[in-house]
Structure 1
Amino acid sequence: MKLPFELCSITISAGTLRMQQIEMSLTYDGLIEGGPGERVNDMLVDFLTRPQPGRGGNVYEVPPARTVEGETELLPPVRCIGFFRGPCTTAHNPDWLYTHLTIGWFQQPYSTGLIHPDAVEQMRDLPWRDVATDVTWQEL
């Protein structure tokens, strides 16, 4: 169920994740010279998961689908970084406030929502309890 204070929500094996923020751009926007290829794509994936100010710590990478057209390796055309809140990762903690994770992925353009259904399917088995961070009242 979508709540009035969320952009969207997705259901994964660990429960419901509610998107709080998203950053989207064209994967190859700004590529000035030459074409994409394995080396450029590796750099783009590395940049996607590199900690950045305002991203809330580590970024979990959903491994991108890489396709080959002729001799050129391509990533999906849209790069996404989303900040999600979800279920607590530990046993019930009375001081628990929320659990969050920044997730990076590449997807096809999608006109009826923020996250393409193929990307949601790739996230379904995301190891939320192993990679998300619990935030307690003491940490604020």
Structure 2
Amino acid sequence: MEYDPISNVTCRLQLESGWELILNQLEQSQTYAGMLEGVPDKKANDWGIDVDLRRAARREYTLGEPHLIPPRRREYQHEPGDMEQERVRRAHYPTEWERDPEWIPQVCCIGCFRSFPPVNDPEKHGSCLTVVWYQDDYALPIDPEVLRLLKQLDWDSLATDFEC
């Protein structure tokens, strides 16, 4: 992300395709804020990601479908092996309860990006896209791997044109 003199904040993103975007809005929340007890697994994470995508679709600046940058999934919370005690504790559980712990990054980010001119309709004023991603801490800065993937967005096929 770079400083944008027009907006007077660090909010400009240059895509590899040449598109110049402005981060218009950024919402962040703890990924597991609603989890009162237990350890997440693939099913719980898939459900949470779906909830976050639906929440992103309802954002004020969202037009079209939100785009997900898939989170990295891992079997440990902080470092490899830190879930071993949890596996031992669950060893006596019935087979149908068996689920391997799975963690995704701790912060969900919903970013609304816009650009001028539009992608398809020259009668419109600009184009926009809402992107959902996960990272280990609150932004800014955006996680370097996520930033790399953001710069590779196919703006021409993902963005939606809008009028002011």
Pick the TM interval, shorter chain: 0.7 to 0.9
Of 84, 103, 115, which aligns to 1:86? 115
Which protein is bigger by CA-based radius of gyration? Answer: 2
Corresponding residue for residue 8 of structure 1: 11
Q: Does 1:49 align with 2:53?
A: yes
Count of paired positions: 134
Runs of 4+ in 1 over 6 A off after TM superposition: none
Aligned partners of 1:8 and 1:114 also within 8 Å: no
SS of residue paired to 2:52: helix
Q: Which residue, out of 24, 27, 31, partners 2:31?
A: 27
**Distance in 2 between the 1:98 and 1:3 partners?**
19
Task: Please identify which structure carries the higher strand content.
Answer: 1
* Partner residue, 1:62: 69
SS at match of 1:68: coil
Note the C-alpha offset of 1:89. 1.5
Taking the aligned partners of 1:26 and 1:2, their CA distance within structure 2 comes to 28
Tell me if the contact between 1:19 and 1:82 (Cα under 8 Å) persists in the aligned partners. yes
Q: TM-score, normalised by structure 1?
A: 0.83
Cα RMSD over matched residues?
2.1
Structure 1 residues 9, 74: CA separation in 2 closer, same or farther (over 3 Å shift)? same
Residues 19-46 of structure 1 deviation map (CA, whole Å, 9 limit, x = unaligned) = 0111001111121132111011101111
Q: Check the 8 A contact 1:7/1:21 in 2, yes or no.
A: no
Q: Percent identity?
A: 28
- CA distance in 2 between counterparts of 1:36 and 1:121 reads 27
Residue 143 of structure 2: which of 100, 116, 136 is its match?
116
TM-score by length of 2: 0.72
List per-residue Cα deviations over 1:13-71 (Å, max 9, x = no partner).
Answer: 23221101110011111211321110111011111222225251321111111111244
Q: Conserved in 2, the CA contact under 8 Å of 1:66 and 1:75?
A: yes
Q: Which amino acid aligns with 2:38?
A: G
